[in-house]
Structure 1
């Protein structure tokens, strides 16, 4: 339950300020897996529906599996009118979906919250034969000076900060273990993000480890990121260099 509750009270901020995914990635997914309204994608750890919406915009049928009530509520509010969308209260390890019912599993910005072995077993249960899982992360370019300074501020004000995505995305052993015979396909997409000051601060407040309004260092956190914005912004806009990484294969 601990991981499920990490985003309590943050769903609105997450929905408003978290980035979506590159259009090139979505088009690649659709082409490589022949996705359409007759194929079923299970988006696990779907959150507020970022990946789900990107797929729905291309007329792909999506079942969004999300255990956090706040996050799932927002996804349902924004996407319920689309007949290709279904929201399910389930976890990565117990999705509640039928066996052999899914054509593709997507996991966007969520795999680090899962029990990898139990999730792998659940994927094997719900996937149709020889269908795949794709893991996706929007990743900050940590070599960049601006990103380095955001890391310094997170370490200062966020006791639960242990690296972006809990540091798991850079651990190649995870993929060798998770994917069948250690075989997977890796792709990288440039995905620079542009923010005004509200978006920049909101983006950093959306992290699970960032302070909430009633936390002791909340106002100091906002002030520090405001100063950082003014240091690097130009004409009221700041660019945060990101790439989007995908890992796909059989399990």
Structure 2
């Protein structure tokens, strides 16, 4: 299956159950990189618009680039009335945006899907000379018992599971090759779930089964059991850190 189609049929669940990002992340970008109402931000691999909406909430102008029709439609339905929002059917490697028109590029939970050499070339083409790229991920804290049980479920039932974010966090050299120089900042961002959102969040992964698949009912039952084991007063808190790598690009 092509990467652009991996979330087909999952868009509603993705929009409903995937976590957002801390306000302080955007505040820091505004302070450290001079983002203001005149800046044009390209949110690449924008999905259902989780990062896009966060940027719009801070009165920033956003061009959201997303190739998956299901995901893009959910974002457009949610954000189409916002005057500072534009939606583009494009890929990370071919955004269709004009050259040297973008002040800042964001990539939230999508970097691991890209052809990094082609994406870097496209970033260099569309960015203004002083432009920067920010790569953002919600990084699970995995050395806790509940996360070990979640990983075991994915290992048992999801053949395409190769680690969270496709194992990208285990390969820091990819970021070093992508950027000429960059800074890394981390933000504590714990995630609170009730039973529905806990199960929905874990079914929204690209490698998780969808309703009708052979393993679907078993996976739902397994996640339900984990929730019931670890919940307190009907909630589970998963430790999570939002990580942002931001900087200038190296040569292609």
Relative to the length of structure 2, the TM-score reads 0.97
How far off is 1:27 after superposition? 1.0
SS of structure 2 residue aligned to 1:7:
coil
Structure 1 Cα separation of the partners of residues 158 and 191 of structure 2: 23
**Structure 2 gaps, min length 5:** none
User: What value does the CA root-mean-square deviation take over the aligned residues?
Assistant: 0.8
Structure 2 Cα separation of the partners of residues 35 and 52 of structure 1: 14
Cα displacement string for residues 122-160 of structure 1 (whole angstroms, at most 9, x for unaligned residues): 000000002100000001001111111100010011111
Aligned runs of 1:117-156 on 2, under 5 Å? 117-156=117-156
Is the Cα–Cα contact under 8 Å of residues 103 and 130 in structure 2 kept in the other structure? no
Is the Cα–Cα contact under 8 Å of residues 109 and 165 in structure 1 kept in the other structure? yes
Partner of 1:69: 69
**Structure 1 gaps, min length 5:** none
Is the Cα–Cα contact under 8 Å of residues 154 and 161 in structure 2 kept in the other structure? yes
SS of structure 2 residue aligned to 1:92:
coil
**Count of matched residue pairs:** 249
Cα displacement string for residues 33-91 of structure 1 (whole angstroms, at most 9, x for unaligned residues): 22222110000000000001001001000000000000000110000101100000000
Partner of 1:241: 239
Partner of 1:34: 34
Partner of 2:169: 169
Partner of 2:13: 13
Partner of 2:188: 190
Structure 2 Cα separation of the partners of residues 54 and 133 of structure 1: 17
Relative to the length of structure 1, the TM-score reads 0.98
Greater Cα offset, 35-44 or 46-55: 35-44
**222, 227, 230: which one aligns with 1:229:** 227
Structure 1 Cα separation of the partners of residues 80 and 96 of structure 2: 19
How far off is 1:118 after superposition? 0.2
Partner of 1:85: 85
Is the Cα–Cα contact under 8 Å of residues 137 and 169 in structure 1 kept in the other structure? no
Runs of 4+ with >4 A deviation:
none
